[in-house]
């Protein structure tokens, strides 16, 4: 036995003590929170954001917050078995009942009834948020979920297809500088916008999906940029940087019934809800079909999938095109709702945001994509109306980033994981396979 | 002939992996392909199943040239490939793995499942278990079982003995013999030359992308050059 090193041994013992380290992390977290919620810096006093938060009486509150958090964590750990027993008891009934198909149908119907009844009671601001910020993004997220979650393809240019859908809507309804052979009601432009986005998906996917993993991400990233730049600069066709205005609203003129969706959000909400439910049914069916099984195999091991007789390229292109057409559909709906498209909105950041919604909700899980998109899109709006601790809208990406980091540490499978993904991540922790989105592509090529 | 390779050349970029090889397999045979690391054994199998396309030569399976076909089309003709390193779907259950093997087929697969579970009883005991949690030997059994699910006429086995204990290797080789008895033709790639030659009818020896010997298995087993190079024996002293 060698004697323990004398110098700094007390400090070292403190540092190697799990409790002390956790406490340190909590206090640092509190300090970060203090800076995040403190006064803004400015170009004349760039450090004032730090000095104003850290050398100010309010910092004490945040340190206390960190210590209280530490206390709570420590108590929870000390009584971990009791806590687990309690939470098991609470969740026992739902866990027993949820696998039952009838129970789940009832839950879904209840959610649907709520989704139909509740929005009518909201004011127009929240109704608008419900369509422009939530509904459209839910549709986008469930589309990207097919690409990323089911097939394991990383698409970083997803918003390009949204743009293609939106500009198709503008073209067929006659809002672009170039005119179609005949003007269509937005309803009839839906299939054309979907087909345009799907074709773009196939044309981009067929050559590039032969590539594996990271290459696809780079190609799609480039594609997203190209579409935005083309939309900005092809003035004579797209109307250029100032965008397109005057895309007509949805309307029905059938058998003497005339209805115009107009400028209120609520009618669009119900239209969107109908489409989302339809798409959800379709994707749920796909997930559990032969096609869905092929996607799982490709995600796991492309070579093995190929050896099992799966036409890997075909199914990858299919997933990509389905995602693209959903994005195009969303773009079409949104363009008609706000009767406006602007290239400056179609940034790569938006593509990444949608990816975040899918990862947050739980890759490969439809309820996850819906809830992930709804929660993450609702939260910033809520904080804008009720600014908590000096929340500022422009900082939103900092918070979302932090939230994702925390999620990846404590719940990498997302808030409502698919059963399969959960198993995959569980097994990866025990050294079987890998848990990343691109696992199917990262296998060695012999 | 069920399968014929004629003057097959495969390149990885500028580097030739196979320099014009020829090989034949008759219906019902077990043929083994021996050779050191990098000789081109795996490349040969991957070319047959369509994962690589040759730059020259023909691959004729039952009268059809399959050299330029995609893997799923080759498989539809009745060629099944159990790839190097097993490559089972680690996170799918044993049952799901076997179902993937039957992906190209329509209709009932019950009979073939029963056959696989009869050949590999241990898989039947572990139907619900994720493939990745099986032992190495069981994973190899699963890989072979999965390949059998497509009802192949020609089964390509790439180093089924890799990394397995001698006892397990013997078990797997005895199962391969049983598979042949049900009428499936087998092309077996191996480094374990003794075992492979005891099992096979005929053998080919690959060296640097070219076939240097082709003969009946039992004659290869006696051949001093083979014994020296692949069976780890010193050259027989010439009296």
- Residues A180-209: tens digit of each pLDDT: 888 888 888 999 999 999 999 999 999 888
How much helix, strand and coil, in percent to the nearest 5, is found in chain A?
70, 5, 25
> Is B43 within a domain?
yes
* Cα A190 to chain centroid, rounded: 23
Residue B189, strand partner residues: B33, B158
**Which chain A residues are Cβ-neighbours of B75 within 8 angstroms?**
307-309
> Who's near B122: CB < 8 A, 6+ residues apart?
B138, B141
The verdict on B99 touching A (C-beta cutoff 8 Å) is yes
Q: Find the closest chain B residue to A425 by CA distance.
A: B91
Q: Best interface-test mutation with A: which of B51, B94, B100, B159 has the largest number of A CBs within 10 A? A: B100
Residue pLDDT, tens place only, B30-48: 999 999 888 999 999 999 9
- Mention every residue, 6+ apart, whose C-beta is less than 8 A from residue A113: none
Taken in order B81, A421, A372, A355, the sign of the CA dihedral is: negative
Calpha distance A22→A40 (Å, rounded): 29
Asked if residue B213 has pLDDT above 80, the reply is: yes
Six-digit token pair at A359? 């990862």
In this structure, are residues A83 and A230 in contact, taking their beta carbons and an 8 Å threshold?
A: no
Strand-pairing partners, residue B157, are B82, B188
**Interior angle at CA A282, CA A417 and CA A101, nearest 5:** 55
Contacts with A293 from chain B: Cβ below 8 Å: 96, 99-100, 103
3-state class (DSSP) for residue A287? helix
CA distances from A111 to A23, A254, A277 (A): 41, 32, 12
Q: Does residue B109 belong to the interface with chain A, where contact is any CB pair within 8 Å? A: no
Q: What is the largest CA-CA distance in chain B?
A: 64
Does B235 fall in a domain? no
Q: Are B95 and B146 a contacting pair, CB within 8 Å?
A: no
Q: Which residues pair with B70 in a beta bridge?
A: none
pLDDT < 50 positions in chain A: 1, 435-446
CA–CA separation, A409 and A395 (whole Å)? 22
| Confidence at residue A432, expressed as pLDDT on a 0 to 100 scale | 60
Q: What are the residues whose beta carbons fall under 8 Å from the beta carbon of B113, sequence distance 6 or more?
A: B98, B149
Per DSSP, the three-state class of A152 is coil
The model's pTM: 0.84
B 197-236 → A contacts, CB under 8 A = none
Q: Which of B38, B87, B96 to mutate to test the interface with A (most CBs of A within 10 A)?
A: B87
> Does the pLDDT value for residue B164 go beyond 60?
yes
Whether B215 shows a pLDDT value over 60: the answer reads: yes
Number of domains in chain B: 1
| Residue B41 touches chain A, beta carbons under 8 Å | no
CB B123 within 8 A of CB B138: yes
Residue B123 included in any domain: yes
Contact A198, A165 (CB under 8 A): no
Q: Does a structural domain hold residue B147?
A: yes
Shortest CA gap B195–chain A (Å): 25
Which H or E run contains B202? strand B202-207
Closest CB to B83 among A293, A304, A309: A304
Instruction: Kindly report each contact of residues A275-281 with a partner whose C-beta sits within 8 Å and lies 24 or more positions away, as own/partner.
Output: A275/A139, A275/A329, A275/A333, A276/A135, A276/A138, A276/A139, A276/A142, A276/A370, A277/A112, A279/A139, A279/A142, A279/A143, A279/A326, A279/A329, A280/A142, A280/A366, A280/A370
Question: Left if phi > 0, otherwise alpha if psi is -120 to 50, otherwise beta: which for B24?
Answer: beta
pLDDT band for position B107 (cuts 50, 70, 90) = confident
The answer to whether B48 and B156 are in contact (CB under 8 A) is: yes
Residue B191 domain-assigned (yes or no): yes
What does the pLDDT read at residue A444? Answer: 36
The answer to whether the CB of A192 falls within 8 A of the CB of A168 is yes
Cα Rg, chain A, nearest whole Å: 25
What angle separates helix A58-78 from helix A80-97, to the nearest 10 degrees? 80
State how far the Cα of A309 lies from the Cα of B102, in Å rounded to an integer. 8
Mean pLDDT of B67-73: 93
> Counting Cβ atoms within 10 Å, is residue A356 exposed (0-12), middle (13-18) or buried (19+)?
buried
Which residue among B42, B46, B100 sits closest to A308, beta carbon to beta carbon? B100
| Nearest CA distance, A1 vs chain B (angstrom) | 40
Walk across the sheet containing B79-82 and list its strands: B79-82, B154-158, B185-190, B30-35, B202-207, B210-216
Q: Is residue B74 part of a domain?
A: yes
Chain A, nearest residue to B96 by Cα: A293
Cα A243–chain centre separation = 26
Q: A311, B72: Cβ pair inside 8 Å?
A: yes
Nearest Cα neighbor of B85 from A146, A59, A443 is: A443
- The position carrying tokens 């993993």 is A213
The DSSP letter of residue A47 is: T
- Looking at the DSSP bridge assignments, the partners of residue B35 are B206
3-class secondary structure, B203: strand
pLDDT of residue A269: 93
Among residues A279, A291, A352, A280, which one has the least CA distance to residue A316? A291
CATH code (residue B19): 3.40.50.300
Cβ-contact A297, A291 below 8 angstroms: no
Q: Are A133 and A378 in contact (CB under 8 A)?
A: yes
Domain range enclosing B49: 3-230
A169 within 8 A of A387, measured Cβ to Cβ: no
Q: What residues in B contact A309, CB-CB < 8 Å?
A: 71-72, 75-76, 103-104, 150
Does any domain span residue B239? no
**Is A427 in Cβ contact with B90 (below 8 Å)?**
yes
Answer whether A248's CB lies under 8 Å from A173's CB. Answer: yes
Q: Give the pair of three-digit tokens for residue A445.
A: 């090529």
| Secondary structure (3-state) at B151 | coil
Chain A contact set for B101 (CB, 8 A): 308
User: DSSP characters for B85-106?
Assistant: T----TTSBHHHHHHHHTTT--
B77 at interface of A, judged by CB pairs closer than 8 A: no
- Nearest CB neighbour to A446, from listed B42, B75, B91: B42
Please give the full DSSP string across A387-414, using - where no structure is assigned. -GGG--GGGHHHHHHHHHHHHHHH-TT-
| Contact assignment for B103 to A310 by CB distance below 8 Å | yes
CA B220 → CA A159, A411, B39, B172, distances in Å? 63, 58, 18, 22
CB A184 within 8 A of CB A251: no
For B73, nearest residue in chain A (alpha carbons): A309
pLDDT for residue B237 is more than 60: no
pLDDT at A82 (0 to 100): 84
Q: Is residue B89 part of a domain?
A: yes
Q: Which two tokens stand for residue B38?
A: 């990098």
**With contact defined as beta carbons under 8 Å apart, do A443 and A302 qualify?**
yes
Min distance B17 CA to chain A CA atoms (Å): 12
């Amino acid at each position: 036995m060698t004697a323990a090193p004398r110098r700094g041994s007390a400090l070292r013992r403190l540092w190697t003590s799990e409790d002390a380290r956790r406490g340190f992390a909590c206090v640092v977290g509190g300090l970060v929170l203090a800076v995040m919620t403190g006064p803004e810096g400015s170009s004349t006093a760039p450090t004032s954001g730090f000095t104003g938060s850290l050398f100010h009486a309010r910092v004490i509150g945040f340190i206390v917050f960190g210590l209280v958090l530490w206390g709570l964590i420590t108590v929870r750990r000390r009584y971990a078995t009791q806590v687990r027993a309690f939470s098991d008891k609470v969740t026992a009934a739902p866990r027993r009942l949820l696998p039952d198909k009838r129970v789940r149908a009832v839950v879904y119907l209840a959610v649907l009834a709520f989704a139909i009844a509740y929005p009518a009671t909201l004011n127009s601001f929240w109704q608008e948020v419900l369509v422009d910020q939530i509904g459209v993004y839910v549709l986008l997220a469930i589309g990207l979920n097919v690409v990323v979650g089911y097939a394991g393809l990383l698409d970083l240019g997803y918003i390009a297809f949204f743009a293609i859908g939106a500009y198709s809507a503008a073209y067929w309804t006659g809002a672009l500088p170039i005119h179609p052979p005949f003007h269509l009601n937005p309803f009839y432009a839906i299939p054309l916008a979907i087909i345009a986005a799907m074709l773009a998906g196939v044309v981009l996917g067929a050559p590039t999906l032969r590539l594996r993993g990271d290459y696809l991400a780079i190609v799609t990233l480039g594609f997203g940029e190209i579409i935005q730049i083309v939309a900005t600069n092809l003035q004579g066709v797209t109307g250029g940087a100032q965008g397109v205005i005057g895309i007509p609203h949805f309307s029905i003129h059938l058998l003497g019934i005339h209805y115009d969706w107009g400028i209120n959000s609520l009618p669009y909400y119900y239209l969107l809800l109908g489409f989302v439910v339809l798409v959800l049914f379709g994707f749920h069916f796909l997930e559990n079909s032969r096609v869905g099984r092929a996607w799982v195999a490709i995600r796991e091991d492309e070579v093995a999938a190929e050896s099992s007789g799966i036409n890997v390229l075909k199914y990858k292109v299919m997933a990509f095109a389905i995602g693209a057409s959903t994005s195009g559909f969303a773009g079409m709906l949104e363009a008609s709702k706000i009767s406006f498209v602007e290239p400056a909105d179609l940034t790569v950041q938006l593509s990444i945001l949608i990816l975040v919604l899918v990862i947050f909700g739980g890759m490969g899980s439809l309820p996850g994509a819906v809830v992930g998109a709804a929660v993450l899109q609702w939260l910033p709006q809520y904080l804008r109306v009720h600014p908590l601790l000096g929340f500022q809208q422009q900082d939103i990406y900092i918070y979302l980033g932090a939230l994702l980091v925390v999620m990846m540490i404590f719940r990498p499978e997302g808030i409502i994981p698919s059963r399969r993904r959960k198993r995959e991540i569980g097994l990866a922790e025990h050294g079987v396979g890998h848990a990343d989105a691109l696992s199917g592509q990262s296998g060695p090529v012999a | 002939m069920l399968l014929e390779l004629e003057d097959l050349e495969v390149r990885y970029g500028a580097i030739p992996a196979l320099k014009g090889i020829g090989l034949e397999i008759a219906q019902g045979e077990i043929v083994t392909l021996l050779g050191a690391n990098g000789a081109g054994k795996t490349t040969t199998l991957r070319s047959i199943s369509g994962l690589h396309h040759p730059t020259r030569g023909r691959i004729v399976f039952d009268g059809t040239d399959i050299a330029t076909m995609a893997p799923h089309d080759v498989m539809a003709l009745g060629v099944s490939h159990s790839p190097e390193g097993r490559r089972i779907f680690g996170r799918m259950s044993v049952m799901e793995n076997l179902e993937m093997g039957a992906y190209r087929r329509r209709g009932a697969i019950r009979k073939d499942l029963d056959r696989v579970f009869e050949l590999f009883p241990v898989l039947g005991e572990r139907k619900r278990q994720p493939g990745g949690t099986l032992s190495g030997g069981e994973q190899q059994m699963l890989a072979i079982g999965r390949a059998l699910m497509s009802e192949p006429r020609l089964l390509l086995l790439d180093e089924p003995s890799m990394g397995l204990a001698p006892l397990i290797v013997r078990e797997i080789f005895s199962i391969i013999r049983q598979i042949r008895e049900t009428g499936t033709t087998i092309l077996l790639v191996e480094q374990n030359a003794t075992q492979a030659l005891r099992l096979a009818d005929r053998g080919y020896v690959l060296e640097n992308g070219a076939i240097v010997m082709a003969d009946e298995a039992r004659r290869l087993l006696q051949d001093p050059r083979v014994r020296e190079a692949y069976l780890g024996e010193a050259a027989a002293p010439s009296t």
